[in-house]
Amino acid sequence: MNSKIESARVWLVLAVGAMFLTFTVGLSAQVQTQTNTTKGAHTQEVTVERGEVVYVTGNDLVVKMEDGTIRHVANVPESVRVTVDGQQLGIHDLKPGMKLQRTITVTKTPTVVTTVKTVTGKVWQVQPPSHVILTLEDGTNEQFKIPNNQKFNIDGQMKDAWGLKKGMKISATKVVEEPVDVYDRHTKLAGTMPPPPPPPPPVDVPILVAENTPPPAPAAAPAELPKTGSILPLIGLLGGLSLLSSLGLKVIRSTF
């Protein structure tokens, strides 16, 4: 703001009448202000941000941006609307997986505000050749800057600031030009629904389900011999052994 004030150009045009002239300016008309605005060529800056809805709860929104960053938008106003497939959706209509796009357009218009202030008062103090202080009709004092080489009509004679004297009634016009940049910000929100889930397989395609089959249990040993078995061979074997034992004993006795 200081740079704008320093760059503002201020002119003071003083029309000085003779001391004996009578001015009939009322209190309500002692300060008259007129403002004029001149606009220059505007410029636009467009920024596009894209992201995917991750989580929505209440009026809080979490979005994964296109660059991979996570952005938490808290307290989204109820008035915010997103255009999705031609419909206006609010914060409570958003779903995870939806794609969002925000387009921000900032228009900059250079503007010059010209303020013309006209006052009537008496010379209270003059500091030639640069400044003069006037006493307004409400009793307040205001300082004005005098442009270089400014001439004043005093009693029909053109004089410079050195010709101003205390007590003279004069009309003063103060013109201030202040450059101001006016910004207009417009935001547009658009989105798309998440992709639908994959369709189920056709009914004519067989579906195989693998099952784990436990291995068969080992067969148990039979509790008794088969009915085809017999103990007669065993009895014959025992009888043969007994006969051989008795013959052996008989041979040993005959020997001794």
Are the C-beta atoms of residues 161 and 129 closer than 8 Å to each other?
A: yes
Instruction: Give a yes or no: residue 244 inside a domain.
Output: no
In a shared domain, residues 87 and 147: no
- Judged by average pLDDT, the poorest of 17-26, 95-104, 219-228 is 17-26
In a shared domain, residues 116 and 178: yes
In a shared domain, residues 17 and 50: no
Instruction: Give a yes or no: residue 11 inside a domain.
Output: yes
The residue range of the domain holding 150 is 2-41+111-182
What is 44-66 written as a DSSP string? EEEEEEEEEEEEEETTEEEEEET
Instruction: Give a yes or no: residue 133 inside a domain.
Output: yes
Higher-scoring residue by pLDDT: 39, 12: 39
CATH number of the structural domain spanning residue 57: 2.40.50.140
Residue type (1 letter), 108: K
Number of domains in the chain: 2
Nearest to 4 by CA among 149, 106, 115: 115
In a shared domain, residues 76 and 165: no
Question: What is the rounded average pLDDT of the residues 148-161?
Answer: 72
Nearest to 109 by CA among 169, 47, 183: 183
Instruction: Give a yes or no: residue 249 inside a domain.
Output: no
pTM assigned to the model: 0.47
- E strand or H helix at 251, and its extent? helix 232-255
In a shared domain, residues 64 and 121: no
Instruction: Give a yes or no: residue 215 inside a domain.
Output: no
Nearest to 14 by CA among 141, 153, 138: 153
Residues whose CB is less than 8 angstroms from the CB of residue 77 and which lie 6 or more positions away in sequence, other chains included? 59, 91
Question: What is the rounded average pLDDT of the residues 173-189?
Answer: 86
Higher-scoring residue by pLDDT: 203, 75: 75
Which of 149, 182, 215 terminates a domain? The answer is: 182
Which of 182, 217, 240 terminates a domain? The answer is: 182
Question: What is the rounded average pLDDT of the residues 172-185?
Answer: 83
Question: What is the rounded average pLDDT of the residues 1-28?
Answer: 35
In a shared domain, residues 169 and 51: no
Question: What is the rounded average pLDDT of the residues 223-244?
Answer: 65
Question: What is the rounded average pLDDT of the residues 41-52?
Answer: 93
Q: What is the pLDDT of residue 176?
A: 81
Q: What is the DSSP letter of 35?
A: E
Q: Which of 52-61, 167-176, 219-228 has the highest mean predicted lDDT (pLDDT)?
A: 52-61
Strands (E), the chain: 9-16, 31-39, 43-57, 60-65, 70-73, 82-84, 87-89, 99-127, 131-136, 141-145, 152-154, 157-159, 169-192
Q: Over the stretch 92-148, which tens digit does the pLDDT of each residue have?
A: 999 999 999 999 999 999 999 998 877 777 888 888 888 888 888 788 888 888 877
